[in-house]
Structure 1
Amino acid sequence: MDSSVYVYVEDVRGEGLQPVLDRVAGYGVTGVTVAAAYHRTRDVTPHGSSRVTIRRDGVHFLPPADLFGGLRLVPPVQAGAEEAPLAALRRATAERGLKLHGWTVFLHSVTLGDVHPDVTVRNCFGDRGSLADLCPSHPDVRLYAVALARAVARQGVDSVVAEGLHFGAFGHGYHHERSFVALGPMDLFLIGLCFCDFCMRRAADLGVDAEAARHECARIVGGVLDGDPPAEGEVTRAALTAYAGPEVVAYARARSEAVTSLVSEIAAAVADEGSRLVFLDGTGAVKGYADGLPSPVLAAHDAWQLGVDVVALGDLVPSLGVLGYARDAARVADDVGAYRRSTGKERELRVVLRPGPPDTDSADRLAAKVRAVRAAGADAVDFYAYGLMPYPILDRIPAALSS
């Protein structure tokens, strides 16, 4: 079974290229998935050269002038990019017979959003309140995303692993988030919808009354901000219809056209550069990243909330990535099964598991998850992430793969 370990360039730089690859190869995986373009974080890195690592928005290579020349949006460049760390990693993995995948964060960048707030999502009140979230409907964002995909593919990677290539969720839009208002799940969803001119025009072209949807969202969320009780319960299409009306649901569903068409462009661009696209659906992270306890509705069935049409993408991309962020092996298997039914048998399904906290508390639990996702139809299992997990946690991987 194909498999890889997610790795940061900072891991390789701090510990040394050969020592990192020695360890990764020892886990029995077939490849490395390296963060070629990443976003701003502060991470506890238990075996890094520093025990707390600050990562910044940007790419670990020099952006090709023929791709970004004349574009308004250009990715920030990470320190040390001039040393070509991805090229060195490509050579070293090839010598060992390992695949190299280019992990790329597309539409989540505080740096770009802060400089160009007009390309970020605009909520129902007209606020640019999520500067980290670039809107996939904006023409400049779409040009940037295609250029970024081509640039990563040119690093010689076997695949471009696309993270954040869809709309974001309101709860992950900045870095110090504060709200002392009791907003329910549906209110958070409504305030996270983008009503920029480009999103509204796309929805209107599909026959949706976008202005009516915006007005209704502002009325409902504004009422809660003024003291009305929030709605409880999961965000489902039926519950949202009852809470906000059919026009809002139609508007939310129309967003998938922007995502699907952009993914289609990027898949073609990546293939033109001699690589292939792996689309990571972020829904599993929205549901279970914090604690591994996702709400009952399966991730594939909630993907529409991020503008992801799993069925449509199953016809467009060669590979779909599933984030298996749940403690229970049966739940992870159910998620994989739902994606498999939606995409058919022809598409590769790659499942990302965390070998340690917060959702894997033992080697036996990790092995049970690997067995479960294999039985549910997964083609590959990847492990997140080398620099974030202590060595004893990472040492669970070989037994899990061979179980």
Structure 2
Amino acid sequence: MDSSLYVYVEDVRGEGLEETLDRITGYGVAGVTVAAACRHARDITPHGRTRVTIRRDGVHFTPPDDLFGGLRLVPPIQDGADEEPLAALRLATARRGLAMHGWTVFLRNATLGLADPDVTVRNCFGDRGSPADLCPAHPDVRRYAVALGRAVARQGVDSVVAEALHFGTFDRGHHHERGFVPLGPMDVFLLGLCFCDFCMRRATELGVNAEVAREECARIVGGVFDGDPPVQGEVTRAALTAYAGPEVVAYARARSEVVTSLVSDVSAAVTGEGSRLVFLDGTGAVKSYDDGPPAPGLAAHEAWQLGVDLVALGDLVPSLGVLAYTRDPARVAEEVAAYRRSTGKDRQLRVVLRPGPPDTDTAGGLAAKVRAAGASGADAVDFYAYGLMPYPVLDRIPAALSG
């Protein structure tokens, strides 16, 4: 089975290129998925040069002038990008026979969002309250995403792994958040819908009364802000229809056209540069990033909440990534099988597992999840992430792959 280990450029810089790749080769993986375009984060890095690492929005290469010269949005450049770390990694991985994939965060960039708030999502109250979330419907954002995909593909990667190439959620909109009003899951969903001019126009073109949808969202969430009790329960289309009305559900459905068309454009651009796109569906992380419980509802069935139409994307992109962040191997099998049913048999499925906490406690548990993924139709299993896991946790990978 194909496999890869997610790696940050800072990992390689801190531990040394050859030393890092020697260790990774020993894990038995077939490649590395290196962060070419990152987002802001603060990470505990147990074996890094710094034990707490601050990551910033931006790319680890110089943005090509022919791609970004006339664009409004240009990715920030990471420190050390002029040393061409991706080119060095490409040469070193090729010598070892390792594949190299370019992990790219597309529409999550607080640096760009704070500089140009109008390119971010606008909620039902008219607030630009999620500065890190660039709106997939905004023309400048779409041009930026296509250029970014091309730029990463030009780094010589075997594939461009696309993270956040869809809508986000309100509860992951910024760092250091405060909210002392209790919101139910459906309130959080409604507050995360974008009602910018471009989103409303696209929905209107599809026959949705976008203004009614916005008004209903503002009425319902505003009522909770004023003291109405929040409604609990899963966010399903049926529950949402009963809670907010059919126009809101129709508006949410219309978002899939925005995402599908954008992914299609980015995929074509990446293919034109001699690479291929791996679309990473973020639903699995939204459901269980922090502690990995087998929460109700499969990610494949809830991807629509991010504007992701897996059936449509299965016809457009050659490969899809599944974030199987759960403790239960049986749940991994269910998730993979559900994605396989949605995308078809001829699409590659790459399943991402965490070899350690918060959802893997033992080597046997990791091996069981790898087996479950393969038995349910996964073509590849990738591991997240080298710099975030202690060495003893990473040492679980060889046995998991060989088993």
Per the alignment, residue 118 of structure 2 pairs with: 118
| Residue type at the aligned position of 1:25 | T
Which secondary structure state, in structure 1, belongs to the residue aligned with residue 73 of structure 2? coil
Query: What does 1:8-157 align with in structure 2 at a 5 Å threshold?
Result: 8-157=8-157
Which secondary structure state, in structure 1, belongs to the residue aligned with residue 352 of structure 2? strand
Residue deviations 1:262-290, cap 9 Å, x none?
00001100000000000000000000101
Per the alignment, residue 267 of structure 1 pairs with: 267
Q: For 2:72 and 2:295, how far apart are their aligned partners in 1?
A: 40
Per the alignment, residue 313 of structure 1 pairs with: 313
| Residue type at the aligned position of 2:234 | E
Per the alignment, residue 390 of structure 1 pairs with: 390
Q: Percent identity?
A: 80
Per the alignment, residue 235 of structure 2 pairs with: 235
Q: For 1:22 and 1:309, how far apart are their aligned partners in 2?
A: 39
Superposed CA RMSD: 0.4
Contact 2:294–2:328 under 8 Å retained in 1 = no
Per the alignment, residue 184 of structure 1 pairs with: 184
| Residues 329/235 of structure 1: CA separation in 2 closer, same or farther (3 Å cut) | same
Per the alignment, residue 200 of structure 1 pairs with: 200
Per the alignment, residue 297 of structure 1 pairs with: 297
| Residue type at the aligned position of 2:380 | A
Per the alignment, residue 5 of structure 1 pairs with: 5
Per the alignment, residue 173 of structure 2 pairs with: 173
Q: For 1:18 and 1:172, how far apart are their aligned partners in 2?
A: 36
Q: For 2:170 and 2:328, how far apart are their aligned partners in 1?
A: 26
Q: For 1:315 and 1:19, how far apart are their aligned partners in 2?
A: 40
Which secondary structure state, in structure 2, belongs to the residue aligned with residue 235 of structure 1? coil
| Residue type at the aligned position of 2:341 | R
Per the alignment, residue 365 of structure 1 pairs with: 365
| Residue type at the aligned position of 2:271 | A
Number of residue equivalences:
403
| Residue type at the aligned position of 1:314 | G
Per the alignment, residue 343 of structure 2 pairs with: 343
Give the drift of 1:295.
Answer: 2.1
Give the drift of 1:296.
Answer: 1.1
Say yes or no: does 1:334 pair with 2:337.
no
Give the drift of 1:95.
Answer: 0.3
Per the alignment, residue 325 of structure 1 pairs with: 325
Which secondary structure state, in structure 1, belongs to the residue aligned with residue 253 of structure 2? helix
Q: For 1:18 and 1:171, how far apart are their aligned partners in 2?
A: 40
Per the alignment, residue 282 of structure 1 pairs with: 282
Structure 1 runs of 4+ aligned residues shifted over 3 Å read none
| Residue type at the aligned position of 1:370 | V
Q: For 1:154 and 1:196, how far apart are their aligned partners in 2?
A: 32
| Residue type at the aligned position of 1:373 | A
Residue deviations 1:316-369, cap 9 Å, x none?
000000001001010011000000000110000000000000000000000000
Give the drift of 1:212.
Answer: 0.3
Per the alignment, residue 159 of structure 1 pairs with: 159
Which secondary structure state, in structure 1, belongs to the residue aligned with residue 33 of structure 2? strand
Say yes or no: does 1:254 pair with 2:215.
no
Residue deviations 1:39-82, cap 9 Å, x none?
00000000000100000000000000000001000000000000
Residue deviations 1:200-245, cap 9 Å, x none?
0000000000000000000000000000000100100010000000
Q: For 1:363 and 1:264, how far apart are their aligned partners in 2?
A: 39
Which secondary structure state, in structure 2, belongs to the residue aligned with residue 121 of structure 1? coil
Q: For 1:265 and 1:110, how far apart are their aligned partners in 2?
A: 23
| Residue type at the aligned position of 1:200 | M
Which secondary structure state, in structure 2, belongs to the residue aligned with residue 131 of structure 1? coil
TM-score, normalising length: structure 1: 1.00
Q: For 1:138 and 1:381, how far apart are their aligned partners in 2?
A: 34
| Residues 294/217 of structure 1: CA separation in 2 closer, same or farther (3 Å cut) | farther
Q: For 1:224 and 1:296, how far apart are their aligned partners in 2?
A: 24
| Residue type at the aligned position of 1:207 | G
Q: For 1:238 and 1:293, how far apart are their aligned partners in 2?
A: 24
Task: Please list every run of 5 or more consecutive structure 1 residues that lacks an aligned counterpart in the other structure.
Answer: none
| Residue type at the aligned position of 1:149 | G
Q: For 2:17 and 2:234, how far apart are their aligned partners in 1?
A: 45
Per the alignment, residue 356 of structure 1 pairs with: 356
| Residue type at the aligned position of 1:383 | F
Which secondary structure state, in structure 2, belongs to the residue aligned with residue 48 of structure 1? coil
Q: For 1:207 and 1:245, how far apart are their aligned partners in 2?
A: 16
| Residues 283/244 of structure 1: CA separation in 2 closer, same or farther (3 Å cut) | same
Give the drift of 1:294.
Answer: 4.1
